[in-house]
Structure 1
Amino acid sequence: MNAPVTDYDVLRVFCGPRGGYGNELGVVRDGSLLPDRDDRQALAAKLGFSETVFVDDPERGVIDIYTPTLRLPFAGHPCVGTAWLLDVPELVTPAGPVGTRLDGEFTWIEARPEWAPPRTLRQYATPSEVDDLEIPPPGEWIYAWSWEDEPAGRIRARAFPGRDDGIDEDEATGAAALLLTAELGRALNITQGSGSQILTAPQPGGWVEVGGRVVLEGQER
């Protein structure tokens, strides 16, 4: 199926301190142009981002998230990026309402770990071991991590989705950071991929905040 042509914004989410790195995200601001799920999935596959967001109601923050091969009820970096773009107090996802806030250079979302898709959180002894990992074959979704400075909560991580859709390594993944924060029960400062930065903090009632910097790359068609 050929998806109709439409405009979309390209963001980088979870950028480093100087605005570099980050995970690219496509956002179709007018989701009404592509109401059919098959058309949305086709466009997400064509664009090839790890996720593409379709905004169904910009005032209420209603969004729909797709990878190149499937629809997601929730995902971290799409929610952070779209929260920054729309500047709304919450996003409405199929998983549930995601609280949002802007705090200086960081955009934060608040979500529940059980909304995140399953990931294998695999700890390594040193950051260099994480750096030296080769791309694993398709299979399980692996979040490889190691302490850089445990007392300070600093972590080195890489993410391997294990999908056969061209996304061998995910540069920055908020959902995996959410799960790791819930497992460790503490605030984290994560350097993932080539140099992306993700901040997290546990909240009362089992919620977790995930934050990062967002940069607008431009609008494409």
Structure 2
Amino acid sequence: MSESDFEVPAGIDVLRVFLGPDGRHGNALGVVRDGRAHQDPASRQALAARLGFGETVFVDDPERGHVDIYTPGLRLPFAGHPLVGAAWLLDLEVLELPVGEVFARQDGEFTWITARPEWAAPHTLERYGSAAEIEALTGPPPGDGRLYAWAWEDEAAGRVRARAFPRRDDTVVEDEATGAAALLLSAELGRALNITQGRGSQLLTAPAPDGTVEVGGRVSLAAVRARR
């Protein structure tokens, strides 16, 4: 089924986060504007599984920026692309999460969040010899845990080619754009990065002296039809 034919329940916005420079690609995100309609964790988990996006955000307080994040198989205390998307959609400067406050800002066509690397779920950051090796991957290599496969496209310019494989027990085989992994890689390398991930999504990062990392990208509403 094409994206334009995809049906979602009314009251859910579908975004694409970390679009490429041409406005294509990006990672799909569901945003439930009124989290009160799904108050208990079981109801939220069931809806996230039914939608099948990499993550779904439930907005519990749009003014304070209190949000709750679920993948199809588990709840997350922090994730990058849901927070970039929610900050853009709700025009928020602060998002409240169990790990702490995440600050957000708009800069032209980019939305940025600031977070700490220790908030992100652990990823294996595996460096490959070339961007061509990354593109040649046909699926997740054997192993457990989240894998972020990356290689330099242009080390001097901070340009990286990457792909992410959650390798977790839900429906997501490969993440098109993974803000948490980009944050971890930027922190490990200690430098700003311009990452091309998946089919052509773009993620920008900028580490700060206080140990935080900014992650930014473009966001747009996806063309979907609501089911009423």
1:84 is aligned to 88
Q: 1:11 aligns to what?
A: 15
Q: How far apart are residue 218 of structure 1 and its match? A: 4.7
Aligned to 1:129: 133
Give distance in 2, aligned partners of 1:67 and 1:14: 18
RMSD value, Cα:
1.2
Offset at 1:50? 0.5
Mapped to 1, the partners of 2:192 and 2:102 lie a distance apart of 19
Contact between 1:16 and 1:195, CA under 8 Å: does it hold in 2?
Answer: yes
CA distance in 1, matches of 2:60, 2:98: 12
Please give the secondary structure, in 2, of the residue aligned with 1:85.
helix
Residue 194 of structure 1: aligned partner:
199
Q: Which structure 2 residues correspond to residues 27-106 of structure 1 after superposition, within 5 A?
A: 27-106=31-110
Amino acid at match of 1:110: T
AA aligned opposite 2:132: S
Q: Helix, strand or coil: the match of 1:205?
A: coil
| Residue of structure 1 aligned with 2:150, choices 145, 168, 189 | 145
Q: Mind listing any 5+ residue stretches in structure 1 that lack a counterpart? A: none
Instruction: Give a deviation string over 1:156-213, Cα, whole Å, max 9, x none.
Output: 0000000232211100000000000000000000000000000000012110000000
Q: Secondary structure at the match of 2:188?
A: helix
Q: Is contact 1:6–1:33 with CA below 8 Å preserved after alignment?
A: no
Moved more, 162-171 or 42-51: 162-171
Once residues 156 and 197 of structure 2 are traced to their aligned partners in structure 1, the CA distance between those partners, rounded to angstroms, is 19
TM-score by length of 2: 0.92
Q: How many residues are paired up?
A: 217
SS at 2:187 equivalent: helix
Tell me, yes or no, if the aligned pair for 1:141 and 1:161 is still in contact at 8 Å: yes
How high is the TM-score relative to the length of structure 1?
0.95
Q: Which runs of 5+ in 2 are unaligned?
A: 1-8
Distance in 2 separating the partners of 1:204 and 1:63: 27
Corresponding letter in the other structure for 1:63: V
What secondary structure does 1:204 align onto? coil
Contact 1:15 1:197 in 2 (8 A): yes
**TM-superposed deviation, 1:94:** 1.1
Q: What is the aligned-residue identity percentage?
A: 68
For residue 163 of structure 1, the aligned residue among 154, 165, 168 is 168
Paired residue secondary structure (2:191): coil
**What's the offset of the Cα at 1:6?**
5.3
Please say if residues 119 and 142 of structure 1, whose CA atoms lie closer than 8 Å, have aligned partners that are also in contact: yes
Check the 8 A contact 1:26/1:52 in 2, yes or no.
yes
Counterparts of 1:145 and 1:200 in 2: how far apart (Å)?
Answer: 15
3-state SS of paired residue (2:222): strand
